[in-house]
Amino acid sequence: MRRILAFGTVLLMMSPLATAAEFVFDDPSGDDDGPGSYTYPTAPEYKKGSFDLTKLEVKDAGDKVEIKVYLKNPIEDPWKSRDWPVKGNGFSLQMAVLFVDQDHKAGAGHDQGIPGFNVAFPEDGRWEKAVIISPQGETRLRSEINDKAKDLKADLVVPQKVSVSGKKIIAVVSKKDLGTPAAGWGFQLVVQSNEGYPDKADLLTRKVNASAGEHRFGGGRDDDCDPHVIDILAGQAKGDKGEIEAQHKALSAYSCEGGPAAWKRAVLPMIYR
């Protein structure tokens, strides 16, 4: 009898019911334009589709969490990140941040994005952790966090490893830093562009201006009121074309009346699974 019970336990552990948690979010292509008006920088390195999110996967991997960000185009390294003073991660253009709501409690967590994004989060969808997926090496990234986001430092997660493969960027983080992904968690993935020479207040993010420049996005404003965000998850994150409109609506809902203290930021939705 004991042998039968033991064998049954092994079968249960090997069954699909015992597999690690994995959360998958799809995003329609063709919405890498922020609120619908943003245009790419004019330099040839910024190929259309380079910031177009198509899928996000978050997977429990033992004592780690594996995050895969899929884009429309193959990931390239035109600025040779491996040769930077602080060795980079094998890509140059993109930067992504995964915001995580771990408790879905109103008022708990942070209601503003990282410096340079110019976005907010809903009262019942604030974030507790944010994973910064950057081509910059760990030393440079931690230095920027210390200089520009010290008040958020405890909740900003720097991956143990970042790599690229084809059209995806892969980040591996420790569960000690992020926790174990669970049903009921909320996720929002923001795609932006890596800026090696950022504004003094921005955390490695690239500006959006009224007119596109060689290394600036266009179609926005010149006063830092608009969201500096190129693509996000929206709707139910199933990849439906209607999610393009949902993204445009969310990123257009900001107000620049009055001075900076009176500005109302675009609010990013959390997607729960």
- Answer whether 231's CB lies under 8 Å from 119's CB: no
Report how far apart, in Å, the C-alpha atoms of 201 and of each of 26, 49, 148 are.
32, 28, 6
d(CA 69, CA 77): 16
> Distance between CA 91 and CA 72 in Å, rounded?
15
pLDDT (average), residues 178-197 = 98
Name the residue with tokens 């890498």. 32
Which DSSP symbol is given to 82? G
Sign (positive or negative) of CA dihedral 8, 11, 15, 19 = positive
What are the helix (H) ranges across 86-153? Answer: 138-148
What is d(CA 52, CA 48) in angstroms, rounded to the nearest whole number?
8
Q: Which residue has tokens 């910064």?
A: 132
pLDDT digits (tens, 9 = 90+) for 73-131: 999 999 999 999 999 999 999 999 999 999 999 999 999 999 999 999 999 999 999 99
> Measured between alpha carbons, how far is 158 from 171 in angstroms, rounded to an integer?
9
Radius of gyration of the chain from its Cα atoms, rounded to whole angstroms = 19
pLDDT of residue 19: 56
Taking residues 233-238, report their average pLDDT: 99
Is 10 among the domain residues? no
205-230 per-position pLDDT tens digit = 999 999 999 999 999 999 999 999 99
Residue 17 has pLDDT above 50, yes or no: no
pLDDT band at 143 (very low <50, low <70, confident <90, very high): very high
* Residues 158 and 132 sit within 8 Å (Cβ to Cβ): yes
User: What are the DSSP calls for 142-186, one per residue?
Assistant: HHHHHHH-GGGGGGEEPPSEEEEETTEEEEEEEHHHH----TT-E
Which residues make beta-bridge pairs with 65? 60, 173
* Residue at 13 is within a domain: no
Asked if residue 12 is part of any domain, the answer here is no
Amino acid (one-letter) located at 240: D
Is residue 73 assigned to a domain? yes
**Number of domains making up the chain:** 1
In a domain, 208, yes or no: yes
| Residue 5 located in a structural domain | no
Residue 119: other Cβ atoms inside 10 A: 24
Mean pLDDT of the chain: 95
pLDDT in tens, 236-259: 999 999 999 999 999 999 999 999
Structure pTM? Answer: 0.93
% of the chain residues with pLDDT over 90 = 93
CATH number where 143 lies: 2.60.40.1190
Please report, as a single letter, which amino acid is at residue 76: E
Whose structure tokens read 């430092």?
A: 153
DSSP state of 133: E
Residue 139: both structure tokens together: 């030393």
* pLDDT of residue 181 exceeding 90: yes
* Segments forming the whole domain that contains residue 72: 20-272
How far is it between the farthest Cα atoms of the chain? 77
